[in-house]
Amino acid sequence: MKLTKRGEYALRTLIRLGIADRQGEGVISVSVLAEQERLPFKFLEAILFELKQAGYVESLRGKHGGARLAKPAQSIKMGDVVRLIDGKLAPIGCASETEYEKCSCPDEEHCGLRMLMIDVRNAIANILDRYTLEHVVEVTLRKQEQQAAATRKTTAKKKTSKTLHADPADGFLAALLSPAI
């Protein structure tokens, strides 16, 4: 499974709307949302339309219009959103539960690759279905608070350039389990 740009942008949009909801900001204009998340405006409009059709987002027209969550963040499972936008979670069609495709393997029933990819699909689905938008918003805000606290502590020190990389300590579960500030 590879998350498409459309899927990534949809999730980032929902997270931003979830943060706005949590912080009492209410409606966010589409242009502000596009600017804050650095998303192409027209692409964002199309994504918001799809999220609206699925009941995740509602839009308001007018001078103070924009978008907001249409349902509570705790009722939005991340796996459901990924499936809506990007379809199957399985890396290959013959391992998919929702969009099964027969493969060219001569013995699909005993195929080790298929069995491995079913396990990969299950691992991905278990993680994405375990967490809601509320969990992701909580982790995002907690990480922002930790960064702000660290920045306050080092304000007197000279800032150094830091190269970002995929550090396991920066993973979602590590952040979720870390104590809140």
Profile the chain (181 residues) by mean pLDDT over runs of 10 residues: 89 96 91 92 94 95 88 96 89 80 82 86 91 95 85 63 61 70 55
Cα-flanking dihedrals φ and ψ of residue 9, to 5°? -65, -35
* pTM for this model (two decimals): 0.81
pLDDT of res. 157: 58
Distance between CA atoms of 7 and 71, rounded to whole angstroms?
Answer: 19
pLDDT of res. 134: 96
Distance between CA atoms of 59 and 12, rounded to whole angstroms?
Answer: 17
- What single DSSP character describes residue 77? B
Distance between CA atoms of 158 and 3, rounded to whole angstroms?
Answer: 37
pLDDT of res. 164: 63
